Amino acid sequence: MATIEALPFGPGALAVVGFYVLSLLAIGGYAYAKKRDDSLGDFYLAGRSMGFAVLILTLYATQYSGNTFLGFSGAAYREGLGFILSIHFMTAIVVAYLFFAPKLYRISREHRFITPGDFIYHRFQSRVLCVLVTLLMVYALCNFTLAQMKTLGIAFEGISQGRIPMWVGVIGLAVVMLIYESLGGMRSVAWTDTIQGGILLLGFGILLYLALNEIGSLPQAVAKLAENPATVKKIMPPDAQGIRRWISFFLMVGLGAAIYPQAIQRIYAARNAATLKRSLAVMAFLPLTTTVVAVLVGVLMAADIPDLQALAKANGAGATAIPSETVFTLLCLKVMQASEFGYWLVVLLFAALLAAVMSTADSALLSISSMVTKDIYGKYINPNANQARLTRVGRWVTWGLMIPIVWTALTYEGNLIQLLKLKFELLIQCVPAIYLGIHCKWLTARTVTAGILAGLAVTLGLSWAGMLGLSEVNHPTLWGIHSGMIGLAVNVMICLTDSFRVPRDFSC
Amino acid sequence: MNNQTGGGEKFSAPSRRNPEFSDPASKPWVWVGYALLFLALLPIWPITGNWWGIPAWAVFAVLVSALTSVFTAFVILRVWKDSDEPFSGRDDGDD
């Protein structure tokens, strides 16, 4: 079984990765030299001066992560063409921005927002609600960062070939991230994202070329899948339950990923509305160049190696290996063994994987730091702290948070798409506070808080129904619908009761 | 805090202050467009056989996704209007 550590990377590959890592530190140093002052706006939003090229690449690098390479291709291997769903939900994220970003951008400019919590407090004037939303977002981001660090460990295993222990690699790369992030804050993150986003785009191009060149065309793969009774369902459309799952996944990821704090902060950080608009317009097309490739790789590999599970058992896969999530690695192994040219293409591809992971993790980490510093420390622990003090605390928070995240990443065993699901279930309970909050004046803090708490209770009650003794088994999904979406439905219904209690101001 | 509006007296929609601001979320036809695209991308339509050797339902779903991207770019660039000038001031934070 070709787990990632089986890839034949040599010292040359390590040198390329070493050069890449050093370049990130150099960017951090340059960003530090370019800092204007010690304000939170400068540290966390790069002085609200992001231009088009930087904004589009940082949005891209942040949104598409290591999970897109490993998790999505693995899911497409398991589910076949049905995972075309991922193209839809990645597009849905951009559509979701449209329903709150135009107003949020303007309000953020007027009131100098730094975090999503700033908007929540400005809109609802409720500390309880602000803390609740902040905690949910911090939880989701910790989960998100954890998934990235886990992928970082897997990628590093492949590149180091076991010459350097995995934990040394993960901690080493985490320290590099922390250094450049501490030096330049969002400016460092955005500039490194620009390089990482460029490598990522190139990486998906290479991946597409490799997949079609090494395995064959999609029509050939479809014909092979159709011939095999064990795989024919991978080219069939989803059944009724599958369609409900499509809808649920589409809404959950679309609505949830758009309100990721790091995404919201990039809306705040745009130089002007025209820059933000152009960037989002381009983002609308990127699922077609990125997610499509990941799905294609999964489907092609499903036709080429239809029974990875059996192969894994026969070859004795590593304890942490999820067979379907090794399809990306298997493809790389095939290519590397084919030619010297293929070897270097895979080295570049792994640089892209590292870029994807690091760019997503550093953005999430910076957002967590900003929320803990601004919305918790600055409001409740030390309300008199000045901007320079808060910025300093933010740097320490970033370092402090990384320790438990790295530790958990090194010990967590489970599949990556599962990690993706867990965080959305809770994060989407913040949807009414932002989407309805920005448009509907009648919405009150008390109702939104009640809605979130009810949504959380329903979500956790279903997810842990078995453990709580409410049912024989846990219900992460019910009739194909995620428990988080059922919780959100309850949450929204509670919020809508406000529209009836304030009949004279019914409009949004 | 105003119990009726949850502090809404401090919150005002930007569109009321700036006539040059146009929010896509306030255009019903945008919602209708997305509702139709959403229905179209669901794999529920009786599309059978293969197109270019690939199951037609899958090709159709990807084409609808591409159409959604085009529609979204159109809405962003043509419907969303914002008159703000390029920001050039220093950021002093919001304390």
pLDDT tens digits in sequence order for chain A, 508 residues long:
445 555 566 777 778 778 888 888 888 888 888 887 778 888 888 888 888 988 888 888 888 877 777 788 888 888 889 889 899 999 999 999 999 999 999 999 889 899 999 999 999 999 999 999 999 999 888 887 887 787 777 666 655 556 666 777 778 888 888 888 888 888 888 888 888 778 778 878 887 887 788 788 889 989 998 888 888 888 888 888 889 988 998 999 999 999 999 899 999 999 889 999 999 999 999 999 889 988 998 898 888 888 777 666 665 545 445 666 677 777 777 777 777 777 777 777 777 777 778 878 888 888 898 898 888 888 888 888 888 888 888 888 888 888 888 888 777 665 555 555 567 888 999 999 999 999 988 888 999 999 999 999 999 888 877 777 777 777 777 888 889 999 999 999 999 887 777 655 544 4
Asked whether the beta carbons of A299 and A98 are under 8 A apart, the reply is no
Mean per-residue pLDDT of chain B: 76
Q: Which residues on B lie below 8 Å from A254 (Cβ)?
A: none
Contact of A67 with A293, CB cutoff 8 Å: no
Please give the distance of CA A113 from its chain centroid, rounded to a whole number. Answer: 22
Co-location of A239 and A345 in the same domain: yes
Rounded Cα gap, residues A211 and A329, in angstroms: 12
- Host domain of residue A213: 4-411
What are the residue boundaries of the structural domains of chain B, listed by start?
Answer: 19-79
Q: Any CB–CB contact under 8 A between A103 and chain B?
A: yes
**B54 contact residues in A (CB cutoff 8 A):** 218-219, 222
Determine the distance in angstroms separating the CA of B28 from the nearest CA of chain A, rounded to an integer. 12
CB A455 within 8 A of CB A490: yes
A445/A370 same-domain check? no
Interchain CB distance below 8 Å, B6 and A446: yes
Identify the pLDDT of residue B2. 38
- The DSSP bridge pattern shows strands B50-51 and B54-55 to be antiparallel
Q: Which of A166, A159, A68, A174 is nearest to A351 (CA)?
A: A159
Integer angstrom CA distances of residue A20 from A62, A491, B12:
18, 45, 47
Joined together, the tokens standing for residue A176 give 């590099």
Assigned domain for A430 exists: no
What pLDDT shows up at residue A339? 76
Kindly calculate the radius of gyration of chain A based on its CA atoms and give it in whole angstroms.
23
Q: Considering CB atoms only, which of B80, B90, B94 is closest to A114?
A: B94
Could you tell me if A350 and A496 lie in one domain?
Answer: no
* In a shared domain, residues A290 and A356: yes
- Mind telling me how many Å the CA of B16 is from chain A's nearest CA? 11
Quick one: closest CA in A to B33, which residue? Answer: A95
**A406 SS3 class:** helix
Cβ count within 10 A of residue A507? 9
Whole-angstrom Cα distance, residue A76 to residue A138?
A: 29
Q: Rounded to an integer, what distance in angstroms lies between the CA atom of residue A500 and that of residue A497? A: 5
Most confident of A31-35, A464-468, B74-78, B82-86: B74-78
CB environment A485-505: b (16+ within 10 A), e (fewer): bbbbebbbebbbebbeebeee
Q: Are residues A463 and A325 in the same domain?
A: no
Same domain? A152 vs A245: yes
Q: Does A424 map to a domain?
A: no
- Which of B15, B68, B81, B91 to probe by mutation at the A interface, max A CB count within 10 Å? B91
Look up residue A89 and give its two tokens.
């939900």
- Residue pointed to by tokens 């050939």: A220
Question: How far is residue B71's CA from residue B79's CA, in Å, rounded to a whole number?
Answer: 11
Q: Please, what is the Cα angle at A327 between A324 and A332, to 5 degrees?
A: 160
In chain A, what residues touch B90 (CB-CB under 8 Å)? 36-37, 47
Report yes or no: A313 at the B interface, CB cutoff 8 Å. no
Give, for B51, the enclosing helix (H) or strand (E): strand B50-51
pLDDT at A440 (0 to 100): 87
> Is residue A386 domain-resident?
yes
> How far is it, in rounded angstroms, from Cα A370 to Cα A364?
10
Both tokens of residue A385?
Answer: 């702290």
| pLDDT the model gives residue B88 | 42
Would you call B84 and A387 a contact, using CB atoms and an 8 Å cutoff?
no
- Asked whether residue B43 carries a pLDDT value surpassing 50, the answer given is yes
Cross-chain residue pair B3–A444, CB shorter than 8 Å: yes
In angstroms, rounded to a whole number, what is the distance separating the alpha carbons of residues A312 and A321? 9
Q: Which residue has the tokens 């590093």?
A: A156
Quote the number of domains for chain A. 2
Residues 232-261 of A with CB under 8 A from B: 235-238, 243, 246-247, 250
Q: Could you tell me if A310 and A197 lie in one domain?
A: yes
Whether residue A312 is found in the same domain as residue A219: yes
DSSP readout, A31-95? Answer: HHHT---S-HHHHHHGGG-B-HHHHHHHHHHHHS-HHIIIIIHHHHHHHGGGGGHHHHHHHHHHH
**Does A425 fall in a domain?**
no
Strand partners, B81: B22
- Please check whether residue A429 lies inside any domain of the structure: no
**Least CA distance to B4: which residue of chain A?**
A444
Report CA torsion sign: A223, A228, A229, A232: negative
3-state SS class at A420: helix
Helix (H) or strand (E) holding A118: helix A116-124
B22 three-state secondary structure: strand
pLDDT reported for residue A186: 84
- CB–CB of A272 and B53 under 8 A? no
Coil vs helix vs strand at B82: coil
Measured between beta carbons, the chain A residues lying within 8 angstroms of B66 are 288
Same-domain pairing of A457 and A337: no
Instruction: Give the separation between CA A401 and CA A407, rounded to whole angstroms.
Output: 10
Distance CA A425, CA A487 (A): 8
- Which residue's structure tokens are 């199951």? B55
CB atoms within 10 A of CB B40: 16
Residues A461 and A348 in one domain: no
Give CA–CA dist A261/A175, Å, rounded: 22
C-alpha A475/C-alpha A346 separation (Å) is 40
**In the beta sheet, which residues pair with residue A477?**
A482
Same domain for A229 and A274, yes or no, is: yes
- Contact present, A393 and A373 (Cβ < 8 Å): yes
**Higher pLDDT residue, A14 or B71?**
B71
A402 and A297 assigned to the same domain: yes
